[in-house]
A and B are shown apart, each in its own frame.
Chain A
Amino acid sequence: MVDFKITDEQQLIIDNVRRLIRDEIRPLEEELDPDAFSLPESEKDRLVGMVKDMGLYKMDVPTEYGGPGVDLVTRTLVAEELSQHRAGLYSPAYGVFGSGPPGQLYNATEEQKEKYLWPVIRGEKSSFFGLSEPSGGSDPARAIKTRGVKDGDDWVINGGKLWNSGADTADFGIVYVRTDPSKGREGVSAFIVDTDTPGFRVERLVQVLRAHYTTELSFTDMRIPKENLLGEEGGGFALANEYLSMQRIPYSATGLGVAIYAHEMATDWAKQRETFGQPLANRQAIQWMLVDNEIDIRTGRWACLAAADLAQRGEPFRFESSMAKLVSTEGAGRVVDRSMQIFGGLGMSKDLPLERWYRELRIRRIGEGPSEVQRIVMARDLLNIRSGS
């Protein structure tokens, strides 16, 4: 059973991160565009230096790869702190804590690690994740139509991808391709694709509800050397699944951070704003909203920590990871919605970050697996149903 007691070391890390967010990031945001998702380079460099001094730069990179190797439970606690600012949901701390390579690359060959994993760790290269296609994203085993055909020492890939954040600025991507159409999930393979490969094209930047955009990609007779096959042929789906389940936990905690900040703001406002001669906080309607906020936040936090604890101990955690994602993203959406209601008209304005979080949290119920798919995953575990291949 998970022990929810935070250790002294974890508290020290949380305090350091909290100070940086509140004393450095939030004041800087006052000067930025309300929808900005990046800092001016000079400020970013300064803050990256501070994070390196804390020993927390690229905290998810294991020690054997030269990183701090911060464990998953601690990273989940930190994720909750990192997002407590205006841009925090999708640009936690504006990236000044850095991020490690996509988890799949730790399973790469030594040559692939040399060419892709190490440059990402050194900050020389960035990547994107190419799974979803116009034909769907929730059921990649069936939806992947992008086709890879072996031709001599190469694979020739034709097709396209959708919803690839960062593909327009990335140096390479991990792209999932159907290499055997006669099989379901066992017919999908993962490839490392350099974005300067002939035939690789960003068709358009796709505008969505949030301040950042995503991309639509096309691949036309794109030749990828066989050395760029990641893992086993036909093993792509398993690679993606493991990576997505693990990612889901800190991703969920990030949403909670925004809810915590919104709840703090709403609570302060309820205490100071008076209507009809009394503070809002004296009204039962408002009190219930605040209590419901607190319940949503605590439920989400426990779900995230329970999932992180199981994953860290090497036990099955897929059910808990899906539950954490479902509970925290839906709960965070409700918290922000109630907080806007408490603020009234001001809650709708761009003077406050609430409207931005409201838009972004709506996406969160879809991104990284919609709420309905999380329920399907949990139902399969409960009922011991094997998903169709």
Chain B
Amino acid sequence: MRIRKPWTEWDDEINFKSLPGAMGVFEIADEDRKTIYIGKASGKSPFGLRGELFLCFADTERLEDANWTHPKMGQVLPTIKEKAKYYRYEVNHMYYSRWIEILTRFNEDHGRLPPANLEDQEDIPKLGRYHWKTQESAMED
């Protein structure tokens, strides 16, 4: 199943401490709340979900005075840079298989991956099939 949480609009003034530094999965959506990217904060993510979400939404200047910054800050995927407006996340130590689960569900519902995942260099394992679509897929297309 997909992440069962309401979308939150990104706020440039957000206190970064309100976002978890833990491992997990997240989705990014455009202004129509259509998913454009399914990501993960892995065991190698230097600042967990907090770092990955800042990477998607914030610019380098935003963290100028902070005592932390994601080493890939500024290297955002084109579709995310252009369209990202909402996010939702789930803290999950089994981030890898959960990430694949969400990608598989999306792929089955839409017959394709989210646009920013297609731009990403991240290697995605072979995705499986459910042999059925969810009701929400009709509303998203």
A residues with a Cβ closer than 8 A to B are: 33-38, 40-41, 166-169, 195-196, 200-205, 207-213, 215, 350
Contact = CB atoms under 8 A, between A and B. Distances in A.
Interface SS of B by simple majority: loop
Nearest to B92: A207
B97 A204 contact: no
B71 to A, nearest CB: 15
B96 A211 contact: yes
Given A169-B128, A205-B104, A213 B97 contact: yes
Residue from B95, B98, B129, B131 with most neighbouring chain A CB atoms (10 Å): B131
A202 B123 contact: no
Interface in B44-73: 44
Interface in B1-46: 1, 42-44
Interface string B95-116: 1111011001000000000000
B96 A38 contact: no
A200 B94 contact: no
Given A35-B42, A40-B123, A350-B44, A168 B128 contact: yes
A33 B130 CA distance: 25
A207 B98 contact: yes
Contact of B96 (A35, A200, A203, A205): A35
B60 to A, nearest CB: 25
A240 B16 CA distance: 54
21 contacts: A34-B42, A34-B43, A35-B94, A37-B125, A38-B126, A40-B123, A166-B128, A168-B128, A195-B129, A201-B130, A201-B132, A202-B129, A202-B131, A204-B1, A205-B100, A207-B94, A207-B98, A208-B94, A210-B94, A211-B96, A215-B128
Nearest to B94: A207
B39 to A, nearest CB: 12
